Chains A and B, each alone.
Chain A
Amino acid sequence: MFPANFGYVAARSVEDALQLMAKHGEDGKLLAGGHSLIPAMKLRLQSPQTLIDLGTVPGLRGVSLDGNSLVIGALTVHADVASSDLVRKHVPGLADAAAVIGDVQVRNRGTIGGSLAHADPAADLPVVLTALDASFVAQSPTGKRTISVDDFFTDFYTTALNSNEILTEIRVPIPAAGTGTAYAKLPHPASGYVVVSAAAMIVRRASGTCIASRIAIGGLGSGPIRAIATELELQGKPLTTQMIAAAAAKAAEETDPMEDSYASAEYKRHVATVYARKAIEAAVERAAK
């Protein structure tokens, strides 16, 4: 299978890529690792006239520390996120998620920025980064702006990025001591994509009560959904098995998942409560360490 014909330009820098985007307008499309875009082009679901390759731009790869944040370059591949010592130490929930995307070969090539900009409703990273309260740096010809994860995913395959912006880095605040993060996923058995998944960040007092939390669920809507009812239920409560189960039971409240050939809406809502519980329990266990 071949994509429809297109032209290709290797960008030399972010500024160069921005100029190329301005030149090609709606006919141009940014290429990162290509593991969402190339399959879509082979199926002729997308037929951009020109690909602007960010893979040739230096400086967009790797994980580093900047003050109290982890900074992940947009072109960092999933395998490198999953194996990063900084990620595993500070936000192991992100390593959980990066390690279950696709398969080994896909993780060696697919990038964090590409996945986020693609905004597949069945992707892993939007869910975990919602729980982690991440933010995204977008560069345009006029400068940079930072977009909160809560504002980033606006619809199916749609983000808050403007057509003249490039996602250059992902910033993840380093959680305070006593915080645990985790991700739990029910993958579709054939495709590996998310049927339902859940991510949790739990801030735990030494006495075992919950100070604060962020819980996100994937697979129930066009993007990740904050389980606000679950977060409120946990607030100030002792993190016992019963309390976690009671809070997780509210994870799918006020959601309206789409039924598909694999899972009914009712099944997805039920599975959301199960995976919310798994993610919270794993995060609590890490918080207690």
Chain B
Amino acid sequence: MAAEAQYAALPVSITVNGVKHDALVEPRTLLVYFLREQLELTGTHVGCDTSQCGACTVHLNGRAVKSCTVLAVQANGAEVKTIEGLADGDNFHPVQEGFREKHGLQCGYCTPGMIMTAVHLLEANPNPSDDEIKHALEGNLCRCTGYVNIVESIRWAASKMKG
């Protein structure tokens, strides 16, 4: 088999933020690059590129995952939600609002990943303690050291979501 044929791009069908995308991807394409470069959804960031920092966190079938460590072909048939899919029109998701209200970001690089992880947390646990929030963020790094305000932002969002 010719090398080109062996590594040929494969068809995938991935639903991103409710929109189904039929695309061709090379097997080695990481989900984060599929999102950023093929779909031009650049809200999902590449930080460490080694599964540690969490800047690339998206939801894959409803669970927070690091999209730098998932192949796009593995997401074939799956539902992906990115930071771009959180707001309802002009209305921010409560976690996005919380980060604005409580100054949960400085440089903003880690923010999309922080928010996607926080949304995943609040879906499973609508009333987390500070300790539970901190544990849930163990896979998200902020190098501006903004953790105090990030925890406050998520607490604010939890309380807003309870209404």
Contact = CB atoms under 8 A, between A and B. Distances in A.
Chains A and B belong together in one complex? yes
Interface of A: 1-8, 10, 31, 34-35, 38-39, 42-43, 49-51, 53, 55, 79, 102-106, 108-109, 191-192
Interface in B34-91: 49-52, 54, 57, 60, 63-66, 69-71, 73-74, 76
Please give me the 3 A-B residue pairs with the lowest Cβ-Cβ distance, nearest first: A103-B139, A8-B27, A108-B63
19 contacts: A1-B50, A4-B28, A6-B27, A6-B28, A7-B27, A8-B71, A31-B74, A38-B69, A79-B63, A103-B138, A104-B120, A104-B121, A105-B51, A105-B66, A108-B60, A108-B63, A108-B64, A109-B60, A192-B138
Interface of B: 3, 6-7, 10, 26-28, 30, 49-52, 54, 57, 60, 63-66, 69-71, 73-74, 76, 117, 120-121, 136, 138-140
Contact of B64 (A34, A42, A104): A104
B49 A42 contact: yes
B6 A109 contact: no
A34 B49 contact: no
A39 B51 contact: yes
Contacts, number: 85
Contact of A42 (B27, B50, B52): B50
Nearest to B137: A104
A7 B6 contact: yes
Contact of B70 (A3, A7, A109): A109
Given A1-B50, A7-B6, A38-B71, 17 more contacts: A31-B74, A34-B69, A34-B70, A34-B74, A35-B69, A38-B30, A39-B50, A42-B50, A49-B6, A103-B140, A104-B120, A105-B54, A105-B65, A108-B60, A108-B63, A108-B64, A192-B138
